[in-house]
């Protein structure tokens, strides 16, 4: 037993797997969105007898929004990228409702000449 070396290796726990070209469980969001959109489309066309184009226009955001979220903000991105992106976009860095707690605005040109 003294001759055995212990080395790190890639185990199954390291990989989140792939399904439909999406890593981990990201395909579940797209699949649930597709099922919900299909169900709503059938409900609108069959039971409520709305037109096909109108139903499709109403239902498309239910599929396109989660699909775009997964493809643009989660696919091939680091862990937590989507949350950080939303936090930066809508909260900003150092932003606060309290005016006194907000950082002082400094123009980029003020810092360019200094090292």
Q: What is the pLDDT of residues 26-84, one digit of tens each?
A: 899 999 999 999 999 999 999 999 999 999 999 999 999 999 999 998 888 888 888 88
The pTM assigned to this predicted structure is 0.64
Nearest-angstrom CA–CA distance, 60 and 40: 10
Residue 66: Cβ-neighbour burial (10 angstroms; 0-12, 13-18, 19+): buried
**Residue 13 domain flag:** no
For the residues 12-36, what does the mean pLDDT come to? 83
Q: Which one-letter DSSP state was computed for residue 59?
A: H
pLDDT of 55 reads: 96
- The structural domain count of the chain equals 1
**44: enclosing H helix or E strand:** none
Q: The domain containing residue 89 runs over which residues?
A: 18-112
Nearest-angstrom CA–CA distance, 42 and 37: 9
pLDDT of 105 reads: 65
Confidence of residue 17 (pLDDT cuts 50, 70, 90): confident
Nearest-angstrom CA–CA distance, 53 and 55: 5
Measured between its terminal Cα atoms, the distance across the chain in Å is 58
**Residue 90 domain flag:** yes
96-109 pLDDT tens trace: 566 665 566 666 66
**Residue 56 domain flag:** yes
**Residue 8 domain flag:** no
């Amino acid at each position: 037993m003294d001759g055995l070396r212990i080395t790190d290796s890639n185990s199954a726990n390291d990989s989140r797997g792939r399904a439909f070209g999406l890593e981990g469980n990201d395909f579940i969001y797209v699949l649930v969105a597709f099922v919900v959109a299909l169900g709503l489309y059938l409900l609108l066309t069959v039971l409520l007898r709305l037109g096909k184009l109108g139903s499709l226009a109403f239902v498309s955001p239910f599929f396109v929004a989660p699909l775009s979220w997964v493809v643009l903000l989660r696919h091939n991105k680091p862990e937590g990228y989507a949350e950080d992106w939303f936090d930066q976009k809508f909260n900003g860095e150092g932003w606060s409702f309290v005016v006194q707690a907000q950082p002082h605005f400094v123009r980029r040109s003020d810092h360019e000449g200094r090292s």
